[in-house]
Amino acid sequence: SLFKILRQRFEALGGQLLTRRRVTAITTDADGVTGVTTANGEHFEARTVVSDAAPAVTLSLIKIGRAHV
């Protein structure tokens, strides 16, 4: 399937695809994105975040200048 091909390529380039996790925050610092925090308290460091949520939802998750808790 197209999804499988895209996922394989994404992972071959060093990406990590996480599913079935509700993101509660996209964390940032002065240099940009630092990661994501999930509803169960997991924090994943990342320089880039790809979201499949609606733009307004994704933007509402950005916590400018706030480190994860």
Residue labelled with tokens 């998750």: 61
> Mean pLDDT over residues 62-67, rounded?
74
Q: Look over the chain and give the mean of its residue pLDDT values, rounded to a whole number.
A: 90
The phi, psi pair for 8, rounded to 5°, reads -60, -45
Does 42 score more than 80 pLDDT?
yes
Q: What is d(CA 5, CA 37) in angstroms, rounded to the nearest whole number?
A: 27
The predicted model scores a pTM of 0.78
pLDDT of residue 28: 93
**pLDDT value for 18:** 85
Which of 30, 69, 45, 53 is closest to 61 using CA atoms? 53
Rounded mean pLDDT, 10-28: 92
pLDDT of res. 27: 94
